[in-house]
Structure 1
């Protein structure tokens, strides 16, 4: 299976986890997903009242310079680790 197909499969699996991952895990997944699908973050950081938006922005920005393939592989690995610890529905 190609990396792209594995990535798409992982994106489906993450929605079928038995329980909600921790906020840190969710932010890591968000940052890796955005880096894999959009690339480097070029948007402005949200304002100080948007705590959730800033956390997501920071997670994505922390992946700056990571290649699409690396981001996809790290996303796949993270989802597989979560499936192993949480399980699927």
Structure 2
């Protein structure tokens, strides 16, 4: 396992222990970076108009299309670190 991957996995664990709950936009960013880092570009159909949460998550993930796994992992790590302080 690479150092980046190990650090990413630690950041995922740390994200569950943040001192306070991030705002919704930050939560969407965390979700999108996690999905991009673990699954790559968004796939499947965009959720329908009545699925507000699913649609917002999918849209946030879709904005990261083309971002490399390593880059997404590093951005995720940096974001979680900034929220721990």
Gap runs ≥5 in structure 1 = 85-89
Between the aligned partners of 1:18 and 1:80, the Cα distance in structure 2 is 12
Structure 1 runs, 4 residues or longer, greater than 3 Å off? none
TM-score (norm 2): 0.96
Deviation at 1:18, TM superposition (A): 1.9
TM-score (norm 1): 0.92
**Aligned Cα root-mean-square deviation (Å):** 0.9
1:24 aligns with 2:11: no
String of CA shifts for 1:51-76, please: whole Å, max 9, x gaps: 00000000100000000000000000
Count of matched residue positions in the alignment of Structure 1 and Structure 2? 84
